[in-house]
Every structure is written in structure tokens, then in C-alpha cells.
Structure 1
Amino acid sequence: MDDPHLPRGVYFRRRVGALAGSVLALVALIWLVDGLMGSGGEEPIQGVAASSPLPKRTPPPVSKAAPSSQAAAPSRGAPSKAAPTSRMAATASPAPRAPEQVPPDPSAPCPDSSVAVTAETGQRAYHATERPLLRLVISNIGPVPCTYDISRAKRELVVAQGGERVWSSNDCYFGTREAFPRVLAPRAKQQYEVRWSGRTSSPGCPTSRADAGAGEYTVTPKLGAVTGEPVPLTLRR
């Protein structure tokens, strides 16, 4: 209760002091409550008020985008898997080889068409009293070596005049008639010589023989079934 005996100024100052004390007490109480309920001094997140609750942090979503083209596509420096496959396919299928050439068998018989015979004379002309030298030449005109019977019984030189048979190297031959197979190399030659007495003969070699005399003759070579071209021979007086 105000004292009615005090002056009015004193009374006014007391009221102002009491009001000031109440205000100070209220401020102190607010400060104390704020201190007890504060956030412990953490700094507020930038852009968010201090009184607002902190937002909850969530992990960023995992991206399900397709792998980059750099990872999917092979690098330029890495070899392509398709190229080795094609090279392996080419290696696995080589070109077929040509069949090996088998060398010819020289023991195979020669066909008559592969054998040639020719006649030669020591001289183009002889005196009628001389014994002309006649020669039989056998050669293989085929491409490969082969075997042919060139036995003495098959080799023959025939002298003729005007188409008439005059003499044969086999008319008076009584030696062996066994086969004599011989390997003939291509273009190789076998030569056999005989002397003609200048007299006539006939098969079986009869004893009655005559001098052939001077004239123009031909000499024809033979080897079994093979016959060569006749060559000229002159007997002079």
C-alpha cells in the first residue's frame, strides 16, 4: 500500500523501480529457459533457420543408365574377335593339293607306236665286190621310258631291188630266239650293224645263192611288227 504521507515523487520512483525489476526478472527468466532448451551450440545449416529442424539426409539414388558406349564397344587398339575367327576358318580349309605325280614304270611294255626303227649305210655307194655296212637304229620316240623286246630274231634288215626281195639279215640266222627285253629311254638309240655279202638269200637259207650285182637297191629296217622307211644303196661295177 502506498504511504499517503510520502511525497508523490518518491512514490513514482518506487513504481518505476518495481516495474524495471519485474522486466529484468522476466528477461532473466527467458534467458534461463532458452539456455536450458538450446541445441547445444551447433551452427545452423546455411539457408535454414536455426529454429527449423535439420532435414534428413538420404543417399543419392543409384543410376540405372545403360553402360557407356566406351565400355560396351571394343577399343580401337584391341583386336576384333571376328577377324581371328575368319582367319581360323581360312586356315582350316586349305586349297586341295594337286595329286602327286607317280614316276612312270620303266618295266612297262612300250607300245609299237613309241618305237621307231631306221636304216643307215656306211656309205651311199659300194663296189659290187665289197661287203656294204648296214646299220639298224632303234629309238624310243615316246615321252616315258619303257621296255621292248629287241632280240636278234626280231631285228631285221631287208635289201630289195625294184620291189623284189633280194636279201634279209634273218634268212640265214640260226642263233637264239629268246626274248631280249630292254629298257628304252626317251630319244635314246640302240644301234646294230651287219655286213651284207652282196649275194641273194631266201628264208631257210638255201645253199643256191647268187651275186646281187651292180644296181640300185633299198634297205628297209624292221623290229618285229615295227617297220621303218627304206633308204637307198648303190652297188657299182
Structure 2
Amino acid sequence: MLEPTGPLPPEIYWRRRMLAIGVAVVVLVLVVWAVSSIGGDESPDTTAAAASSSLTLPSAASSTSVVDTGEPGSSGGGSGSGSDSSETSTAAGTPTSAAPVAPGQCPDQSLAIKATVEQPTYQVGQEPVFGIVITNISPTPCERELGAGLQQAMVYTIDGQVRLWSNIDCFPNPESRIQQLKPGEQALFTVKWSGTTSQPECAGDRAPVAPGAYTVIAQLGALRSGPEPFNIA
């Protein structure tokens, strides 16, 4: 470094140089701080924007409620009977065509239907007894045609592929029965099966079914229950 020259003592010039260097350092520090501050302000915004753009809102969950009609009780609606001594074998499980619901009557969505079996196993020669339970599952009372001609108990093979019998194949009943059901009220009907096959309009021969496992399905118009298993031993 050059020695200071001039009319003043060298110490003065050295002090001036040190002061200038100190000022330069301070200015440099301020510049660096300003640049870093600007960069720091932009970075969080960018990060926040990225996080916001990647946020996924959960979709609303759908819930589904299942109505359990339960077993028929003594407080159920009116009971009717459709005793069978006719049964039939029919080709694979093709649903029976149903008449439309009359205007002003309970729609199918307001009703639940269930098939019941009086006992799980019957001996060959015994007549199984089935129940058709119709429940008003809506919050309001309504009426529905429950005539025996619209109620069906149908026996199928255990795999559900072949219909063996229906209570209206050989004994159709055109009787009308319009019944009002309060919310939660049940109407119970019983059907007795002779244990033989049948076909629509009682066509063909009727033969006793062999021992084995079977199911019964209840139907009211277009409303069908799930299969209820039983055995013939």
C-alpha cells in the first residue's frame, strides 16, 4: 500500500482510508441485506401459491342407509292366506311381469317386502309354510292393493336359476284387498306349499320336488324380496 503524502501527518491519511473502507463495507452489507430481503419476501409467496394450487378439497361422502324390515310380529298388519296345493316348474329366474301401481297408492319405494319360512327344514311329504311380510318404510301412511293375485311366494333352486313353483300358477286369486299401512306397520300373509312343481296357468305336469336346498322369494307387483333358504330332507 502506498505511503500517504501531503501536508498533513500520515496518521490523518490512514484514518481517512480506514473510514472510507469502513463506509464501503457498510454499504456492501446494506446492499446484500436488501437483495436477500427482496428474495425472502418473494419465496414465501411462491411457496404459498404452490401449496394453494396443490390443495385438494375432499368430495362429500355419500351415505347410504339400509332398512331392516325384521321378522314379522303379532303387531303386523292384516293377515291373509293363499294356501297352495299347486306348484310349478318354470325356466330360469325370469321375473314375473307386474301390473303398475294404481295412482295415489303407496309406491314401491315406500314399501319393503320379505319372505319368511316357518321352519328351516321340512321332511318330504310335509307342506312348507311361507310368510309374505310387507312393511311401510315411509314416514307417512299410505294404502296399497295387497290382493292375493298380486302377492306371490315363489320357490327356486338354491342357485336361483330355476323357478319351481308359485302360489298363483294354479290358483290365481283376483280378489281385491286395498289396505292402509301406517309408517312401520306390517301386513303378513301366509302361503302353504304342497311340495310339488307348477308352471304359469298350471301348464304341464306337477311333480314332487326332490330333497335338497331351496329358496323362497316374495313378490308384490314389481317389488321382490331377497331369497330365504330352506331345506327338504
> Structure 1, residues 2-27: CA drift from partner, whole Å, max 9, x if none?
xxxxxxxxxxxxxxxxxxxxxxxxxx
Shift of 1:108: 4.3
Counting matched residue pairs gives: 129
Match of 2:191 in 1: 194
Q: Distance in 1 between matches of 2:204 and 2:137?
A: 40
| SS of structure 2 residue aligned to 1:200 | coil
The aligned counterpart of 1:146 is: 142
Matched position secondary structure for 1:204: helix
Once the two structures are TM-superposed, the CA of residue 128 in structure 1 deviates from its matched residue by 1.6
1:143 partner SS: coil
Are 1:112 and 2:108 matched, yes or no?
A: yes
Q: How does 1:63-74 map to 2 (within 5 A)?
A: none
User: Structure 1: which 5+ runs fail to align?
Assistant: 1-106
The structure with more radius of gyration: 1
Residue 134 of structure 1: aligned partner: 130
Tell me what 1:211 maps to.
208
* Higher relative contact order (Cα pairs below 8 Å, separated by 6+ residues): 2
What amino acid is the match of 1:166? L
Which residue is 2:53 aligned to?
A: none
Measured in 2, the distance between the counterparts of 1:189 and 1:206 equals: 34
| CA root-mean-square deviation | 1.5
1:46-57 correspondence to structure 2 within 5 Å: none
Cα shift at 1:174:
3.6
Structure 1: distance between partners of 2:163 and 2:133: 21
Q: Shift of residue 169 of structure 1?
A: 0.8
Q: Note the residue ranges of structure 2 that are not aligned, 5 or more in a row.
A: 1-102
TM-score, normalised to structure 2, is 0.53
TM-score (norm 1): 0.52
- Work out which of the residue numbers 223, 227, 231 in structure 1 matches 2:224: 227
